[in-house]
Structure 1
Amino acid sequence: MSKGSVEERLAIRELIETFAVGVTTIDPELWASTWADEGCWKTPSMPALVEGKEAVVEKFKEMMAYVKFMSMSAIPSPTDLVFDGDKAKGRAYCRELIFPKAGGQKIVIGFFDDEYVKRDGRWLFTSRIYTVIGAE
């Protein structure tokens, strides 16, 4: 296990940022590009873990159908990022400003516990588990 090279840490950061841009722009294709085929995803609003890239992307589309627009900012935690060859684990803190089609606004602060895999020179998510710290 290691803290990884500057290049590897930057690649993970860019993965996390690409995920956030995919959310902010509600772009399922961009968002899907961050996932490994075996990826799994869980948020507090989901009754169960969603497994497999295809199912994960469909769940994203379902959740975004209720959103008029939103903004996600993500900050990877350098103290939680650990590499083990072509696998890594980390944590990313995020803030979401959500404007539902039904009206109103929601602010959510939380973090993702992540697992990553490097394939064909790219880092991808194999797991993202979201925990809400606070919401208003």
Structure 2
Amino acid sequence: MPFTGPVEDRLAIRELIDAYADAVVRNDADAWGATWAEDASWALPDYPEWGEKQGRDAIVATWKDAMSHYPGIVFVANPGSIEVDGDTARVRSYTSEVYDQGGATKRDRGVYEDVCIKIDGRWLFKSRSFRNIHRQG
């Protein structure tokens, strides 16, 4: 079953995904960073120049660098599964991105495989791994 666990937790995780996407569109590093646990990890195997990062500070620094390459991005994410087990959840979400780069409009679609954790009643990303599904442009 792709959606399991308490509805309240699944809704909070959906709102975490939405807050992440909103921060990307607004290019708001503080809001984006606030979606991550302090000791989180972020893997980007399709982007070896950024690799895997450990810790919120390193993750946010990498994101700031990455975002300089994606001006005017529109980023949308939709969950494909949210499986809550206590204060941990396994989540898969699909992304759609549109941005201008090098004089061309580009469109990317990808998938995040996540582990989320609940700390002091708040859900955060503990680990995220992003892979491209399709690139156009």
TM-score normalised to structure 2 length: 0.91
Q: Are 1:121 and 2:124 counterparts?
A: no
CA-atom RMSD in angstroms = 1.3
1:35-75 residue CA offsets vs partner (Å, 9 max, x unmatched):
00111112211342111100000000000122221001110
Pick aligned residue for 1:61 from 59, 64, 69: 64
SS in 2 for 1:66: coil
Q: Are 1:105 and 2:116 counterparts?
A: no
Which 4+ residue blocks in structure 1 deviate beyond 6 angstroms? none
Alignment-derived partner of residue 48 in structure 2: 46
Matched length: 132
Pick aligned residue for 1:70 from 73, 84, 87: 73
C-alpha separation between the residues in 2 aligned to 1:117 and 1:46?
26
C-alpha separation between the residues in 2 aligned to 1:109 and 1:67?
14
SS in 2 for 1:12: helix
Identity %, equivalent residues: 36
Equivalent residues of 2:10, 2:84 under 8 A apart = no
SS in 2 for 1:61: helix
Q: What is the Cα deviation at residue 110 of structure 1?
A: 1.0
Structure 1 residue ranges without an equivalent (≥5): none
Q: What is the Cα deviation at residue 26 of structure 1?
A: 0.7
Residues 25-44 of structure 1: pairs in structure 2 closer than 5 A: 25-43=26-44, 44=46
